[in-house]
Amino acid sequence: MYQDTEILVVGLGAMGSAALYHLARQDAAPIGIDQYPVGHTHGSSHGHSRVFRIFYNNAVYVNLVKAALPLWQELETLSGEQLLTRNGMLTFAEPGNERLDQNIRIMQATKTPYEVLTAEEVTARFPALQLPADSVICYTPDSGFLNASRCVRTHVAQAERFGATVHSGMRVHHIEANKEHPEVETSAGNYRCRRLIISPGPWASQLLTNLSLPLRVTRQQKFYFQPQDGGALYQPDRLPVYGDYDRGYYGFPYYGPGIKVADDGHGPVTSPKTVDRELDLNVRNALAQWLGTIMPGVNPSFVEGATCMYTLTPDHDFLIGHHPLNSNIFVAAGFSGHGFKFSTIVGKILAELATDGKTDYPIDKFRLNRFG
């Protein structure tokens, strides 16, 4: 027995929750399914913060961040929730870092506000920070950070308010993609739908077996530290987000349980089923040491850490678009450790694809069949 439905969204993490919201805003009355409760901590979208970075090496991403900004602000207005803190981002490296230089060229080319600062100017403006004297440092004032779990919960709550139905604790066992109207078999009933959006995060390879997507899931960990002096210098109004492009380390101001830092370098390959959630103390200690070198007064004491997963494509660009075997199915996957900031615009793109069959946003770069 199949329940016939118009539009179904499978996976309500960052991307699926946003798709559900934008569909509901279009009065599409979508149904959303997730194997876990909304806002759970098993996937890739939980926690207090994700960088809202405009500093990219490609204009497609810069323009998508710019398009996402008013959507985040609209969601804040509708819900009354504070989601985005725009306190800027400082990115730094030793002279000659090609990635940093390329990003600065793209800031110029896209007319995105940025400033190149000296280490002295950084300390004058943000007294907690003392970056190496010869660093190349770029400040992008429109960057900042999003409260990740709150964004997911807010997208879902607003989707429900505009007519979406949510089934959490419902696991999808099988998707029959070869039928014009795809069929979805779950732990609590089966659906036949006219349009299907699949946004499975690190479970993509399990749910989309027939596509043999070249995805790699890695274990990533983030760590929170308390500064010794209580933290006035480290609050978001006195300290931006910061990223070290030589080491791949990055961090946030004091928000939630403390100052969060993480290594953007890829951790061990894993899977949602086997991921080891025990904290790697070597990574924690290296991050604490790094924090001490760029913030000499911080003297960080460890508070807590958490485990999350990246789902990487070979080129680190996303997978967004039609399912190669069925033009009524749309996939969003492979967000390669930098997808969160885009989630609301990805949701809008998915909603447009599902309702109009097309979108004006430039998603060719993200097509699913680009790896042959």
Ligand X SMILES: Cc1cc2nc3c(=O)[nH]c(=O)nc-3n(C[C@H](O)[C@H](O)[C@H](O)COP(=O)(O)OP(=O)(O)OC[C@H]3O[C@@H](n4cnc5c(N)ncnc54)[C@H](O)[C@@H]3O)c2cc1C
Residues making contact with ligand X (CB under 6 A): 10-16, 33-36, 43-45, 50-51, 171-172, 199-203, 207, 220, 222, 262, 308-310, 335, 337-341
138 vs 156, beta carbon nearer ligand X = 156
C-alpha to C-alpha distance for 94 and 244, rounded to whole angstroms: 9
| In the complex, minimum distance from the CB of residue 204 to ligand X, in angstroms, rounded to a whole number | 8
Rounded to an integer, what distance in angstroms lies between the CA atom of residue 262 and that of residue 222? 5
The structure tokens listed for 175 are 């998707």
Least distance CB 335 / ligand X (angstroms): 3
In the bound state with ligand X, the residue whose beta carbon lies nearer, of 2 and 36, is: 36
> Given the complex with ligand X, which of 127 and 286 has the nearer CB atom?
286
Nearer to ligand X by Cβ, of 310 and 366: the residue is 310
Q: Using an 8 Å Cβ cutoff, are 47 and 307 in contact?
A: no
CB of 228 to ligand X, least distance (A): 25
Closer to ligand X by CB, 3 or 228: give it.
Answer: 3
Task: Give the closest residue to 349 by CA, choosing from 12, 123, 10, 26.
Answer: 26
**Shortest Cβ distance from residue 363 to ligand X (Å)?**
15
| Smallest separation, CB 50 to ligand X (Å) | 4
Residue 113's closest CA among 84, 88, 140, 137?
140
Nearest Cα neighbor of 311 from 272, 368, 362, 365 is 272
Q: How far is the CB of 255 from ligand X (least distance, A)?
A: 13
> Is 25 or 50 the residue whose CB approaches ligand X more closely?
50
- Partner residues linked to 222 by β-bridges: 262, 306
With CB atoms as reference, the residue minimizing the distance to ligand X is 13
Pairing of strands 258-263, 249-255: antiparallel
177 closest CA partner among 213, 142, 210: 210
